[in-house]
A and B are shown apart, each in its own frame.
Chain A
Amino acid sequence: MNPKLAKLPPRGVAGNILASDTGAATHIASAPFGHALVRAAENNPRIVGLTADLGKYTDIHLFAEKFPERFFQMGMAEQSLIGCAAGMARAGLIPFATTYCVFATRRAYDFIAIGVALGRANVKIIAGLPGLTTGYGGTHQGIEDLALMCSVPNLTVIDPCDATEIEQAIQAIADYDGPVYMRLLRGQVPVVLDPEHYQFEIGKAKMLTEGGDVAIISTGLMTGRALDAAKALDAEGIRASVLHLSTLKPFDRETVEALIGRVPAVVTAENHMQHGGLASAVADLAVDSGLKIRLRRVGIPDCFCDSGSLPYLVDRYSMGATHIAQAAREALH
């Protein structure tokens, strides 16, 4: 062994690209998307599945095993993946196409915009590795996909929180007639929301906790951290509302406006760049509505992120519950 390396302090490692970020979750579910798609497909023969060489990495392999005649492997060819899905939709099917966020949105943007969205083709794009859910570095971290997808007319854009919401959302988007881009959490996925009490609806933000001091508006997996932050703040006597906004587009202006009109200290938390996604939508709304708010953004700054272990990356880019709580304190002062 190289003696110089041996002297270094212990470090985290980037780990396998498949590693899931379950953090300190006490409840987890396995492959919620794959199981939910199988259930939806059992009742609807129009549902078909496609992937671009990422079947087992996006949990759609469960669908492929159950319905091999309804599954179409497209190889490493994302333009073809999205274009074919658009053609299938025009032939009357409901295609679910999976790849990673970075490949769907960077490589196949024109195919999503023109092939899918312009004519409202009934395609569901399910995209893995959103934001910092892989330590693989800038090539695989989808940090600007929401900005790109929210810019496309006609497209519905969803960033689900957990296994509960993924299961509910898959049925909802299968029933919805129109194009959808949805971020995917795959593998072992935390259960944050109680399926007995939470009900996903396209385009509806959901208030998870109510408090009058600070408004935390979060999307995607950041909602789990926002709830942890709210607990920590509560112990300090700061009452936080947590509004979970999983549909970025269409944006639930009414609910957000009501909240930030009532609680002007606002924190946004998103597993995405701080610009072009949730924070920008909230800022736009505040300006349009003439609401004076004090906004703190938790999200990735204007940079490509490093490779590394997920806890290291969450800390390095200030994306954890403690960072949300700190942003809330700053918004209050």
Chain B
Amino acid sequence: MNAQSEAISSATQEIRLKETARALRRHVLEMAEIVGQGYVGQGLGISDLLAVLYFREMRYDPKNPSWQDRDRFILSTGHYAIGLYAALAEAGIIPLHEIGTYGTDGSRLEMAAPETTPGVEITGGSLGHGLPQSVGMAIGLRYQGRPSRIFNLLSDGECQEGATWEAAMAGAHYKLGNLYAFIDCNNQQADGPPAAIMNIEPLDKKWEAFGWHTQRIDGNDVAAILGALAAARKVEDRPHAIVLDTLMGKGVATFEQREKNHFIRVGAEEWSVARQQLEERAL
């Protein structure tokens, strides 16, 4: 897939990835409508990153999700599962029709992703676990001489957890060039915006000070994500922090504009409008 991608122009590639991101958003809306509520804002907000990772950057085998040399996506924020399932379904790691079971009793697609579901590497959701486990994986895979890289998604609020910074120290200490941390700054945690709850900015300066190769970009700009990954690949002796400023509900005007909530409740009549707005949005 990568070889093909490299053969086409970067402009074409960007358009394809934006189309893929829209496809992921369609899946997110489909899942959110089933349960009538949930983390649809986060799923929409992170779709651009997931499109780039799963359809451009990461090496994996959809038919063998436990292939040992795969790159690993570590979802620390378990409640972003709705976004991850969209990517896993689009990539063929789980059947596309299975997303229709999201959040229902007995489904593998629980609202917080469990590690028993194919393509889900750890049980996230108790925040602050993702980066320590990612550091351990990065050390362990490097020790075994494997080429795998670790892509960990954590959130702005999660940077209030001390364990994140314990692991940030370790990642820099062990010079883990195979480790990428994406910090999704959607400016919303359970009780409100982080600046009001417990200020964690300036995040880019903090990661830099912890010894990470750090960039801060618009996390809903596919070209910026591609550029940041390209820049990060050139730095081999430091772990990579990419701070993403994202918009919750990105791609659906009504969700982008509503007063921000960590957990959005959506009326039954709103879904058809949301789907229409997603399709109308220019790439």
Contact = CB atoms under 8 A, between A and B. Distances in A.
A84 interface: yes
Interface stretch (B32-40, B136-144, B197-205, B236-244): B136-144
B144 A92 contact: yes
- If over half of A's interface residues share one DSSP class (helix, strand or loop), that class is named, otherwise mixed; here it is helix
Nearest to B131: A83
Interface string A82-121: 1111111111110100000000000000110011001100
Given A84-B139, A91-B140, A119-B123, A79 B170 contact: no
Contacts of B123: 114, 118-119
A80 B170 contact: yes
B132 A111 contact: yes
A75 interface: yes
Contacts of A92: 68, 140, 144
Given A77-B166, A80-B167, A86 B126 contact: no
A80 B211 CA distance: 17
B279 interface: no
Most B CB contacts (10 A, CB to CB) among A72, A77, A90, A114 go to A90
Contact of B133 (A48, A74, A75, A115): A115
Interface string A282-303: 0000000000000000000000
A79 B144 contact: no
A84 B170 contact: yes
A87 B131 CA distance: 9
Most A CB contacts (10 A, CB to CB) among B68, B136, B163, B173 go to B136
A70 interface: yes
Contact of A83 (B132, B144, B146): B132
A86 B133 contact: yes
Contact of B137 (A80, A90, A114, A119): A90
Contact of B135 (A70, A87, A110): A87
Contacts of A79: 128, 132, 162-163, 166
B129 interface: yes
Contacts of B132: 79-80, 82-84, 86-87, 111, 115
A110 B141 CA distance: 24
A93 B133 contact: no
Interface in B96-154: 115-116, 121-123, 126, 128-129, 131-141, 143-144, 146
A83 B163 contact: yes
B174 interface: yes
A84 B133 contact: yes
A68 to B, nearest CB: 12
A70 B137 CA distance: 14
- If over half of B's interface residues share one DSSP class (helix, strand or loop), that class is named, otherwise mixed; here it is helix
A121 B128 CA distance: 17
Contacts of A118: 115, 123
A85 B122 CA distance: 13
A85 B135 CA distance: 9
A5 B145 CA distance: 63
Given A72-B139, A77-B166, A80-B169, A119 B133 contact: no
Nearest to B134: A87
B167 A84 contact: yes
A85 B68 contact: no
A119 B68 CA distance: 18
A95 to B, nearest CB: 8
Contacts of B128: 79
A75 B170 CA distance: 8
Nearest to A52: B166
Contacts of A69: 143
B126 to A, nearest CB: 5
Interface in B43-58: none
Interface string B62-104: 0000001000000000000000000000000000000000000
A88 B139 contact: yes
A91 B144 contact: yes
B133 A87 contact: yes
A82 to B, nearest CB: 8
B174 to A, nearest CB: 7
A119 B135 CA distance: 18
Contacts of B144: 91-93
A278 to B, nearest CB: 30
A115 B166 contact: no
B133 A90 contact: yes
Contacts of A74: 170
A117 to B, nearest CB: 10
B269 to A, nearest CB: 38
B121 A90 contact: yes
Q: Which 3 A-B pairs have the closest CB atoms?
A: A87-B136, A83-B132, A91-B140
Given A69-B143, A110-B129, 15 more contacts: A48-B140, A48-B143, A72-B174, A77-B170, A79-B132, A79-B163, A83-B129, A83-B132, A83-B163, A84-B132, A84-B167, A87-B140, A90-B136, A92-B144, A110-B126
Interface of B: 68, 115-116, 121-123, 126, 128-129, 131-141, 143-144, 146, 162-163, 166-167, 169-170, 173-174
30 contacts: A48-B140, A69-B143, A72-B174, A75-B169, A75-B173, A77-B166, A77-B170, A80-B135, A83-B131, A83-B136, A83-B167, A84-B133, A84-B139, A85-B136, A86-B122, A87-B138, A87-B139, A88-B136, A88-B137, A89-B136, A90-B140, A91-B140, A91-B144, A95-B136, A95-B140, A111-B129, A114-B126, A115-B133, A119-B115, A119-B116
